[in-house]
């Protein structure tokens, strides 16, 4: 069983940075592609970033490209989302998710391709 726990959210001023973490427990935790999604009040869930099981491949949503970086520490079974140059429109609940190896990489921008989800962490960016 995979359990995902996010941390690192909080309140930051526009232009600032935050680093989110997603701890992934379970015997086969390293065998999953990991993604980050976010959802602001009244809006649909939005794809943020994904990293392959071995860390070799990453992909970002257009709204965060060049500002956010996803990475993973396989030894610690943890995935990180470094968020720089934050904007008020980045305010949302950020959730990490795990997708099994049977999933198709090109479809991992879609939330329904993920098998496990964390509870989310709030990120608030003030102007």
Provide the pLDDT for residue 27. 64
DSSP annotation of 119 reads -
Q: Which residues contact 61 (CB under 8 A, 6 or more apart)?
A: 46, 47, 48, 49, 109
In tens, the pLDDT along 62-121 reads 999 999 999 998 777 899 999 999 999 999 999 999 999 889 999 999 999 999 999 999
Region 14-43: mean pLDDT is: 91
Q: For the beta carbon of residue 75, count every other beta carbon within 10 angstroms.
A: 7
Query: Is 28 in contact with 17 (CB distance < 8 Å)?
Result: no
- The whole-angstrom separation of Cα 75 and Cα 72 is 9
Provide the pLDDT for residue 29. 64
């Amino acid at each position: 069983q995979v359990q995902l726990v996010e941390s690192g959210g909080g309140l930051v001023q526009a232009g600032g940075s935050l680093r989110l973490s997603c701890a992934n427990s379970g015997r086969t935790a390293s065998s999953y592609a990991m993604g980050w999604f976010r959802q602001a009040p009244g809006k649909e869930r939005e794809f943020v970033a994904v990293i392959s099981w071995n860390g070799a491949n990453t992909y970002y949503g257009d709204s965060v490209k060049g500002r956010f970086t996803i990475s993973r520490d396989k030894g610690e079974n943890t995935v990180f989302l470094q968020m720089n140059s934050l904007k008020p429109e980045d305010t949302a609940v950020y959730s990490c998710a795990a997708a099994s190896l049977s999933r198709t990489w090109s479809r991992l921008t879609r939330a329904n391709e993920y098998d496990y989800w964390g509870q989310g962490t709030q990120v608030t960016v003030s102007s």
